[in-house]
């Protein structure tokens, strides 16, 4: 479904991604783990056209989307719940969700999208008229994911959905991620909590300073001695 090959990206002179290869098949949950600054967020940003790829290619459904404008990539069926949530603080919950469906052109699709998101996150339905900036961290995370779902994406990119959340909320969010996947959405999950990522995903890529160092089935990686030592604290 999504194929990244030989991707290189820079921030000024810093070589952030070094020839990254990554592939996601329809229906999978793929996780991308690694420490701070390994290039996880940069990878997602390149997919969405927020950071320029200097070389290499990104294809989505056999279409080259490398360095396409962000709004075109989004209306092409990819959704991103960005790191730090980035909800519109001064707009209401409902307006935030409405914006998520900005690129939708199908009549009736909007109503369906609202009910799907409100079913997944009943908490948001209780707060439709509240300004997003006044929500708690967990609610903002739900809003960020819900907003990304409003466009009806086939591929959902999640950047650190567990960041800054209480442990019980983290488990709840990850349960919902599996639920969204069961609804037919393919998911690329970026996560610092390697344990959680490995248990949730089918396959995992491990990034270190811009390189993919290991990749494979998540359940195999859970047993890998190197991974255990470096990422699982065992």
Partner 1 sequence: MADFVQQILNGFALGLAYALVAVGYSLVFGILRLINFSHGSVYAFGAHAAFFMVGLHFGPVPAIIAAMLITGVLGVVIDRTALAPLRKKKSVSIAALVTTLGISSIIQNMLVVIFGSQRKPFPDFFNFGTLELGGVRLGSRQLVMVTVSLALLLLLLMVVNKTKVGLAMRATAQNQKAAALMGINVNNIITLTFLMGGASAAIAGGMVGGYYQIVYPSMGFMIGLKAFAASVLGGIGSLPGALVGGLLVGVIESLAALFFGSNYRDATAFIILIAVLIFRPAGLFGKKEVVKV
Contact status: 175 vs partner 1 (CB under 8 A): no
Minimum CB–partner distance for residue 188 and partner 1 (Å): 15
Contact status: 83 vs partner 1 (CB under 8 A): no
Contact status: 100 vs partner 1 (CB under 8 A): yes
Contact status: 134 vs partner 1 (CB under 8 A): no
- Please check whether residue 128 is in contact with residue 92, taking contact to mean a CB–CB distance below 8 angstroms: yes
Contact status: 164 vs partner 1 (CB under 8 A): no
With respect to partner 1, which residue has the nearer C-beta, 90 or 167?
90
Minimum CB–partner distance for residue 12 and partner 1 (Å): 10
Minimum CB–partner distance for residue 143 and partner 1 (Å): 11
Contact residues: partner 1, CB under 8 A: 48, 50, 69-71, 74-75, 80, 82, 86-91, 95, 98-100, 102-103, 147-148, 151
């Amino acid at each position: 479904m999504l194929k990244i090959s030989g991707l290189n990206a820079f921030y000024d002179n810093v070589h952030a991604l070094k020839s990254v290869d990554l592939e996601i098949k329809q229906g999978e949950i793929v996780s991308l783990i690694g420490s701070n600054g390994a290039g996880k967020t940069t990878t997602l940003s390149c997919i969405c056209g927020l950071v320029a790829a200097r070389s290499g290619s990104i294809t989505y459904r056999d279409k080259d989307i490398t360095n396409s404008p962000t709004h075109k990539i989004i209306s092409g069926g990819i959704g991103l719940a960005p790191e730090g949530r980035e909800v519109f603080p001064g707009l209401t919950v409902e307006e935030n969700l409405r914006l998520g469906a900005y690129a939708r052109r199908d009549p009736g699709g909007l109503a369906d999208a609202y009910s799907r998101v409100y079913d997944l996150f009943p908490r948001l339905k209780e707060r439709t008229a509240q300004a997003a900036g006044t929500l708690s961290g967990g609610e903002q995370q739900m809003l960020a994911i819900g907003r990304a779902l409003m466009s009806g994406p086939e591929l959902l990119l999640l950047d650190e959905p567990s960041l800054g959340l209480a442990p019980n909320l983290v488990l709840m969010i990850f349960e919902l991620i599996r639920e969204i996947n069961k609804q037919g959405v393919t998911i690329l999950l970026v996560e610092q909590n390697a344990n959680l990522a490995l248990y949730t995903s089918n396959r995992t890529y491990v990034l270190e300073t811009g390189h993919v160092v290991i990749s494979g089935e998540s359940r195999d990686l859970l047993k890998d001695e190197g991974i255990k030592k470096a990422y699982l604290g065992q």
